[in-house]
Structure 1
Amino acid sequence: MQLRSLQARLSGLLMLASLSGAAVYAGITQWPLPELLSWLRHDPRLGAHLPTLPGISGGLLASLLVLLPLALWLGALVMAPIRRLLRALEGAVASYRDGDFSFSISADRRDELGELIRMHNALGQTLREQRQHLVQRELLLDTVVQHTPVSLVLANTQGRVAYANIAARHLFNEGRSLNGLDFGELLLNVPEALRRAVESGEDVLLSVPMDGAEETFHLSQRLFRLQGRPHKLYSFRRMTRELSRQEVATWKRVIRVISHELNNSLAPISSLAHSGAELARRGDMARLPGVFATIGERARHLHGFIAGYASFAKLPTPQPQAIDWQAFLDSLALHCRFRLVGTVPDDPGWFDKAQIEQVLINLIKNAHEAGGAEDGVTLSLAQVGHDWRIEVADRGPGMSETVLAQALLPFYSTKRAGTGLGLALAREITEAHGGRITLANREDGGLRVSLLLPAKS
């Protein structure tokens, strides 16, 4: 189907109007009106009453009188479909503004206006399909959110609940709807620990007494804008079962590690004791001191192994105090070798000297055991905001992504003789100070361990 151009139609109408004007002008000034008047003047009865021929101005005036209504009629003819299309587009825009995408324009034109109508209808169809897919996704998301075991509460800036899933309704309102209720008033009916955690505005892990038992929750709070307005999302995740499973798994790992280490020490001790008894029975006293020395060595190793676990389990509460950095580094240098990068801060640190010193000794020892150059083990100090950052770096091979993800977990070790408590103890001490520890591979090779410790306020 070939399109008929709207421009061609307008050009044709303009040409028709021009030709009509020229024909009227020629008919008045040239032919046939002059010829007709000349012929009629030969009749003596009519000749005296006939008007004279109009001049150029008269011809133009007569042409204008003919062309003006013709132009108005042609203009209305041209603009009629455009006006109809504009009215239809106004209705479509109003429908789209109201969220109704079912509006379409019916027209059978083969010009630019027809192409515009077809594009509009295609746009409406696309919007309808997108709206349908969006509604389906919203239904799916709402189904997932409503039936998730995590309690979700969405509140506006006035503290009114804008959305709450089924788990949240059971947690805060005995299964009844929470929409429109004051979230602050709902918190008056929950355990105090949960209320304080919400009021803190931070992500926390807490335990609260509920239904005669203790429930552990992880509370997450996030601010975001919904439909241009600020809201706050509270997420309450029950962690009791998950933590119980993790606790059982951890105990199993502890038992396996301890059993393995005990067997590795007790088996040789039992064998050596039997050998010593046999040597004593035969009177071979010369070899007994070596047997006893080996038994003592295995016993000391076992004692150190158990002592390491005991130190992790009985970590005392840190006693922070003002620490002069230069004196601290001098004391640390007596126990391990490192190269200081950067300058020594003038402001004092604020931590438990013995505990942080033990952490750094372990980290520097690990850095030396990583296999890099000895002078590649460095230590740096810097104040970042309200925290002190202590970094221990080496030029070893670094860690794989799997090891990085688990290196701070208790009892995880890649060393054959390792207990998996060194980095876990460092993490426990750092977090007891209110700080955190992070591990990352260096871009130019090696590993970087960073301690962030709060500075004294």
Structure 2
Amino acid sequence: MPRRRLVPRLSLVARHSVGGCLLVAAGAGAALALRPWLASPWAAWGMAILLLAPLCAWVAQRTLAPALSLFRALAGTVNSYRDGDFSFGLHWARDDELADLVAAHNALGATLREQRLGLAQRELLLDTMVQNTPVAMLLCDPSRRVVYANLAARKLLNDGRRLEGMPLDAVFAAGPEALREAVARGGDGLFAIGRDEDEEDTFHLARRGFRLNGRVHELILLRHLTAELRRQEVRTWKKVIRVISHELNNSLAPIASLAHSGGALLERGRTEKLAEVFATIEDRARHLEGFIRGYARFAKLPAPRLEPTPWPGFVERLRSQIEFRIDGTLPGRPGRFDPAQMEQALINLLRNAHESGSPADAVSLGVRRLGEMVAIEVRDRGGGMSEAVLANALLPFYSTKRGGTGLGLALVREIAEAHGGRLSLSNRDGGGLAIAVLVPE
């Protein structure tokens, strides 16, 4: 509700005009009073000006002093706003244009104060959520120093101690070797860290770049997938049991029916149709045998027979079965693995690379040493994997292909782990997928 004015509004222009007129009138009166005492009118006016000059200075100082004080207060509150302090307000007792300026300034301060309070509450909520999320988060500036790390990142990478200000390379250098390899490959990917001889923790690495205050920053996310993978495995095994039960019923029910029909035909002496009955039974039995053999091959992978294997001959045998190019030079020192199992694993990976939509000449295989491990890496320029597919890719029987069994990558993983190694997947910068089989040298 607007404030009622008890007196008419007197503007700054009107007030100063009235004061100026009064001073001119006083000067004229002084000149007229001095005229009889001086010989010239100009001398009277000059003497009047000299006499009234201190009065004019005093009146100007008294008139402008409140406004000058207000201007200093405005400058002070603006500096406070710039420093983030919005608790100040101003008061102006007069009803003029400066009163409108003070009111607008106070309204601005109140708006900024409310916005700052809301922003602080949202920041507190966001920080609480980020600090308590199980996903490890690292934010790095252009100089690759950590500017923010949540509790999960501190616990995972620095035993719960602060990471802010540390070089990112030093943080990763002190971490597990699998993490360093995943970061060195670039892009998103999966890696596993062994807890003991029988168990390991699986993590999903995601990296995102964005601009903050005009500078390029990088956000690194490490998501612990072990518990989720175990839940997925339980659901997958339930699905497998349903699939096997369905397939067994689809084969055994016709076999039982045909066997009964064959017996009935034999009793009636109609043996001419028994050949057709037995052929159908054999066909269903062979189908069931092939179905069971495919699953048994995955479940009963034999222990690898490690033997020294020269890389050039091994790679040439692969190239005789499927097309790819060699990335880099092959090591001169022979590898030590089971040639048959490794060949089976790499053919699966190379076939997947060709089926990913990648150009044939972009499918490559490279072999390089990584410390005490040898990485056999298959790369392509296909569509890569989404985050959801990447998180489930190593689950047995998980497949995005129509009619796929989902045993390919799971079998490759079993072969790698049987050799004492591991399997890692990552999306490539520019598109495509890189899958590395790491085995001891």
TM-score interval, smaller chain: 0.5 to 0.7
**How far 1:256 moved relative to its partner?**
1.0
Written as runs of structure 1 = structure 2, the 5 A alignment for 1:30-179 is 54-55=40-41, 57=42, 61=46, 64-65=49-50, 68-69=53-54, 71-157=56-142, 159-179=144-164
**How far 1:270 moved relative to its partner?**
0.7
Give the Cα–Cα distance (whole angstroms) in 1 for the partners of residues 352 and 182 of structure 2.
Answer: 33
What secondary structure sits across from 1:152 in the alignment?
strand
- Unpaired runs of at least 5, structure 1: 38-49, 325-350, 364-378, 392-405, 437-450
**How far 1:64 moved relative to its partner?**
4.3
> Greater relative contact order (Cα 8 A, min sep 6): structure 1 or 2?
2
State which structure, 1 or 2, has the greater radius of gyration over its C-alpha atoms: 1
Tell me whether 1:239 sits opposite 2:225 in the alignment.
yes
**How far 1:122 moved relative to its partner?**
2.3
What secondary structure sits across from 2:114 in the alignment?
helix
Aligned residue number for residue 24 of structure 2: 21
**How far 1:352 moved relative to its partner?**
7.9
Tell me whether 1:218 sits opposite 2:204 in the alignment.
yes
**How far 1:272 moved relative to its partner?**
0.8
Q: Which amino acid aligns with 2:249?
A: N
Task: Kindly indicate whether the alpha-carbon contact (under 8 Å) linking 2:194 and 2:200 is maintained by their aligned counterparts in 1.
Answer: yes
Aligned residue number for residue 308 of structure 2: none
Written as runs of structure 1 = structure 2, the 5 A alignment for 1:269-288 is 269-288=255-274
What secondary structure sits across from 1:106 in the alignment?
coil
Cα deviation, 1:304-363, whole Å, max 9, x if unaligned, reads 65577689999xx99468969xxxxxxxxxxxxxxxxxxxxxxxxxx9899769977xx9
Distance 1:76 1:4, change over 3 A: farther
What secondary structure sits across from 2:220 in the alignment?
strand
Task: Kindly indicate whether the alpha-carbon contact (under 8 Å) linking 1:169 and 1:176 is maintained by their aligned counterparts in 2.
Answer: yes
What secondary structure sits across from 2:160 in the alignment?
coil
Task: Kindly indicate whether the alpha-carbon contact (under 8 Å) linking 1:411 and 1:421 is maintained by their aligned counterparts in 2.
Answer: no
Distance 1:228 1:426, change over 3 A: same
- Unpaired runs of at least 5, structure 2: 302-313, 325-345, 365-378, 384-391, 412-422, 435-441
**How far 1:254 moved relative to its partner?**
1.9
Give the Cα–Cα distance (whole angstroms) in 1 for the partners of residues 61 and 225 of structure 2.
Answer: 75
What secondary structure sits across from 1:196 in the alignment?
helix
249, 259, 263: which one aligns with 2:245:
259
**How far 1:410 moved relative to its partner?**
8.5
192, 201, 205: which one aligns with 2:190:
205
Distance 1:66 1:428, change over 3 A: farther
Q: Which amino acid aligns with 1:279?
A: L
Written as runs of structure 1 = structure 2, the 5 A alignment for 1:207-356 is 207-210=192-195, 213-226=199-212, 230-299=216-285, 301-302=287-288, 319=318
Cα deviation, 1:64-94, whole Å, max 9, x if unaligned, reads 4566555434433442222111100121122
Q: Give the TM-score normalised by structure 2.
A: 0.63
Q: Which amino acid aligns with 2:117?
A: Q
